[in-house]
């Protein structure tokens, strides 16, 4: 079983620009994280975009939907900023039937050394292997069907609704 990991950016992959003191995107850390986790899961990693999910447009979401639909794998993990993760999940639920799609992200950039990203990636890759077809949000060790998840902007956590 191969899992397709589609990278879209988000806090997960933000880096610190030490010259300007800003956060920015360069390359994804997903490969490095899988290596750190000694992952033996068969994966294909593809970077679709590297953006903050607050800046994600409908066109960007169409790119994600198209790639989830077109890839040959039936089990997909999408790394994504948490702010609009549910919106992308909704687009995927409409546009990609019959596949198991798990969206995940992080509250702290992996590059900052104290990230929840490694924990979430282990979790998402695991849920993607065993859940039935559908679109899910895997954050904070838990998994929720996309239409029952809502980000709580005060706590940063996803609540079940």
Residue positions annotated with a catalytic role: 11
Q: How far is the CB of 62 from a copy of itself (least distance, A)?
A: 25
Interface of this chain with a copy of itself, residues 20 to 49, rule: CB under 8 A? 21, 23, 33-34, 36-41
Q: How far is the CB of 157 from a copy of itself (least distance, A)?
A: 6
Closer to a copy of itself by Cβ: residue 17 or 62: 17
User: Does 146 participate in binding a copy of itself (rule CB under 8 A)?
Assistant: no
Q: Which residues, 6 or more positions from 129, have their beta carbon under 8 angstroms from its beta carbon?
A: 1, 3, 41, 75
> Pick from 68, 91, 109, 146: which binds a copy of itself (CB under 8 A)?
109
Tell me which residue of 60, 147, 138, 149 sits closest to 104, measured CA to CA.
Answer: 138
Tell me which residue of 6, 77, 13, 8 sits closest to 45, measured CA to CA.
Answer: 6
Running DSSP on this structure, what letter comes out for residue 23? E
Q: Is 121 helix (H, G, I), strand (E, B) or coil?
A: helix
User: Does 101 participate in binding a copy of itself (rule CB under 8 A)?
Assistant: no
43 within 8 A of 79, measured Cβ to Cβ? no
Q: How far is the CB of 13 from a copy of itself (least distance, A)?
A: 13
User: Does 116 participate in binding a copy of itself (rule CB under 8 A)?
Assistant: yes
Residue 157 CA to residue 24 CA, distance in Å, equals: 23
Summarize as ranges the residues that interact with a copy of itself (CB under 8 A).
11, 14, 16, 18-19, 21, 23, 33-34, 36-41, 107-109, 111-116, 118-127, 129-131, 138-143, 153-158
């Amino acid at each position: 079983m191969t899992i397709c990991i589609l990278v879209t950016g988000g806090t997960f992959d933000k880096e610190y620009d030490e010259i300007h003191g800003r956060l920015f995107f360069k390359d994804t850390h997903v490969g490095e994280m899988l290596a750190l986790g000694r992952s033996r899961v068969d994966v294909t990693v593809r970077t679709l975009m590297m953006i903050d999910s607050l800046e994600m447009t409908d066109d960007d979401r169409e790119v994600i939907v198209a790639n989830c639909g077109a890839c040959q794998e039936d089990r997909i993990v999408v790394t994504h900023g948490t702010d609009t993760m549910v919106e992308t999940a909704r687009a995927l639920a409409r546009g990609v039937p019959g596949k198991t799609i798990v969206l995940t992200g992080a509250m702290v950039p992996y590059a900052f050394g104290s990230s929840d990203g490694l924990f979430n990636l282990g979790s998402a890759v695991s849920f993607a292997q065993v859940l039935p077809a559908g679109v899910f949000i895997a954050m904070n060790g838990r998994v929720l069907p996309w239409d029952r998840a809502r980000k709580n902007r005060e706590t940063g956590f996803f609540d079940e609704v």
